[in-house]
Structure 1
Amino acid sequence: MHRGLVHALAWTLATGAAVTLSWWGVHTVMSGTAYDPPLAVPLTTQPLSSSTHRAAAPPPGPATDAPSPSAASPSASPSPSASAAKPPPKAAPPSPGPDGGQGGGDPGRVKAYPVTGGRVVFDLGASSAELVSATPDAGWQMQVWKQPYWIRVTFTKAGREMSVFCTWNGHPPMVETYEG
């Protein structure tokens, strides 16, 4: 009887150690991939690139009390009632670089993809892409994964899953949707 209790205690300790080690490993990997959803920014009719969009200086003129898309931070977002009260400010086109181009980045185009469960907006350049915003519909959950050559946004609700993939590994950015 004493021997059986020793075996049960050893099995319990080994199982607890294995579960703890597994949880720690999964937690470490997952903590680097999931994050708060990005803020939505107003779309413009001018093509934007990620480098010129961030580096463009604000145009001279009267200041507005609404933040510009590049000045928005994840911790500060306007309330829905405040953003519905006045239209978003028009973004100024990026200033051309010294060679007449739009700086050193990929000139891109901002394109929205409305899908079941939400809406995803990408800035698609010639050889890369950047996530502009991802907004889930009411009741839907969202996860975003970013890697050097792809971005995945997944909306889930009650066992339904809708994924939007943007890939650009050796080819121009391509967006695909999958429902699972």
Structure 2
Amino acid sequence: MRRGLVHAGAWTLATGAAVTLSWWGVHTVMSGTAYDPPLAVPLTTQPLSSSTHRALPPAPSPDPSPSPTPSPSAPSSSPAPPSAAKPSPPPTPPQPRQGTANEDVKAYSVSGGRVVLGLGATSAELVSATPSAGWRMQVWKQPYWIRVTFTRAGREVSVFCTWHDHPPLVEIVDP
């Protein structure tokens, strides 16, 4: 009985060590690949409205009723009237991103959404990615490739852009 427990303990330790070593090896190889969580795409414009922040209503105009003038012998304890502030101009809508002289901005519409890429001579940049209604989106960005994947109900549509050792090449995978 004791000998069986020793064998079971040794087997458990050896199996645990093998699993740990395998996990560490696979984790090291797979880090930095498409299996990592996607990075968020930075937004370059501020939203015009928000569900949590609302614009303040305009301040009411002061009542033009006459106020009594203080007597010269009594010191004035009333504060000075507020100065009239100029209203802020309405926000301007965000302008569409323009490509530079060496960049061509192209849009790719697929069944899961729309991807806009800035394609240069030796690199590419994700301008925007918008999923269609009911679709989810993931974005992966690496030094020599970008992947945008739209998913819904087990269906997956991807837009790949690669530019390692060649000009940017866009490939759409829509099975």
Normalised by the length of structure 2, the TM-score is 0.56
Q: Which residue of 1 aligns with 2:160?
A: 165
How far, CA to CA, are the matches of 1:14 and 1:80 in structure 2? 59
How far, CA to CA, are the matches of 2:124 and 2:171 in structure 1? 13
Deviation at 1:87, TM superposition (A): 6.6
CA change 1:136–1:11 in 2 (3 A) is farther
**Contact 2:106–2:118, Cα closer than 8 Å, also in 1:** yes
How far, CA to CA, are the matches of 2:129 and 2:106 in structure 1? 12
Q: Which residue of 2 aligns with 1:4?
A: 4
Among 143, 149, 171, the alignment partner of 1:147 is: 143
Residue pairs, 1:58-97, within 5 angstroms = 69=44, 78=47, 81=50, 88-90=93-95
What's the RMSD between the two structures over aligned residues?
Answer: 3.5
What 5-or-longer segments of structure 1 have no aligned partner?
Answer: 41-68, 95-101
Look up the equivalent residue of 1:12 and give its one-letter code: T
What 5-or-longer segments of structure 2 have no aligned partner?
Answer: 52-90
Identity %: 60
**Contact 1:136–1:142, Cα closer than 8 Å, also in 2:** no
Deviation at 1:108, TM superposition (A): 0.5
CA change 1:15–1:179 in 2 (3 A) is farther
CA change 1:161–1:32 in 2 (3 A) is same
Bigger share in helix? 1
Greater Rg over alpha carbons, structure: 2
Look up the equivalent residue of 1:88 and give its one-letter code: P
Q: Which residue of 2 aligns with 1:122?
A: 117
Q: Higher relative contact order at CA 8 Å, sep ≥6: structure 1 or structure 2?
A: 1
**Contact 1:141–1:157, Cα closer than 8 Å, also in 2:** no
CA change 1:173–1:30 in 2 (3 A) is same
Normalised by the length of structure 1, the TM-score is 0.55
- Total equivalences in the alignment: 133
**Contact 2:137–2:148, Cα closer than 8 Å, also in 1:** no
How far, CA to CA, are the matches of 1:36 and 1:9 in structure 2? 43
